[in-house]
Amino acid sequence: MSIDASVSRNGVHDDIATRSVHALDVALVGYGEVGRIFGAALVGAGVAAVKAFDILHRDTSWAAAAEARAANDRVVLASDVAGAVADAELIICAVTAAATATAARQIGAVISRDALVLDVNSASPRTKTECADVIDRAGGRYVEAAVMTSVPPYGIAVPMLLGGPHAAALQPVLAKLGFKAEIGSETYGVDSAIKLCRSVVIKGMEALIIESLLGARRYGVEDQVLASLTETFPGLDWETQASYFWRRVVQHGRRRAEEMREAAITIGDAGLTPTMSAASADLQAWVASLRAAGAFASAAGDAQWRELADLIERKT
């Protein structure tokens, strides 16, 4: 539904963009890596309150670390979606790609009228459009966001595109809070198509590097492979980049696999066969399964790719 961004459904002037951020109540649905980074930054920006909910709240091992982080950052953890969302004027949804539609339904069931929902999840245009319909029918205002690179190290200033008819109402608010968000398309799904077609390359490169260097390591030719890559692409430090790719996949393989499943849907909905997207998802999921089995338990957070590759060797 297209409406004037400065006017709410009932014709009352929408003044959220002109109000002080100190009067703004914000909710986070999803308190993983992105939710925690955003939560701390929002508190630092001086909003009235930040409440957060995560589906893992009943997992005692997750909850201990999350509660400590939330207390340090002055974020209030809620025990359910309603506890986080009920009074919020801005709701940021930062869950996994597979949980995007479910989270939208949960938010829609308890959202306040005219509340703005910023969906930063890496979901397909089809999924984002369906989420928009759920939120709009519930009386909220859905804003599609396409986060265009990894949130670390940018934090809340990570580049993103805002899509849909309510993007113009939200963008000034986000700017005050420290976001670096640009208005994209007024049509839902367009910005997510940009994001996920890009992901075919970025997440595909991650998958290619892991498969290539894992194979090269087993043959004992990794130095030659990296030297050849450097000669072909001299502007890139392949050793450093490879370790970065490996660490991100080891840490977030499941999330990346879900994103690439959404990328496959995106490519399929364009009438193409998502060969590379599907294959990348399979490799990301394989690494995630190894992590779940404890293969990387001994690895430091700054482990280099050779160490991670050798840990796979021991597990397989």
Domain endpoint, select from 171, 188, 205: 188
Q: Model confidence at 316, in pLDDT bands (50, 70, 90)?
A: confident
pLDDT of residue 14: 53
Domain encompassing residue 129: 21-188
Chain segment 153-186, per-residue pLDDT in tens: 899 999 999 999 999 999 999 999 999 999 999 9
Domain termination site, one of 133, 159, 188: 188
Are 54 and 125 in a shared domain? Answer: yes
Residues 165 and 308 in one domain: no
One domain for residues 35 and 165: yes
- The burial class, CB within 10 Å (0-12 / 13-18 / 19+), for 176 is middle
CA distance 191 to 193: 5
Name the domain boundary from 172, 188, 204.
188
Which ranges in the chain belong to alpha helices (H)?
33-45, 60-73, 81-85, 100-110, 125-137, 151-154, 167-177, 190-219, 222-232, 238-269, 275-292, 305-315
The answer on 143 and 87 residing in a single domain is: yes
Instruction: Residue 255: give its domain's CATH number.
Output: 1.10.1040.10
pLDDT tops 80 at residue 18: no
Residue 108 belongs to a domain with what CATH number?
Answer: 3.40.50.720
Indicate the pTM of the whole model: 0.89
Q: How far apart are CA 259 and CA 277, in angstroms?
A: 9
User: How many structural domains compose the chain?
Assistant: 2
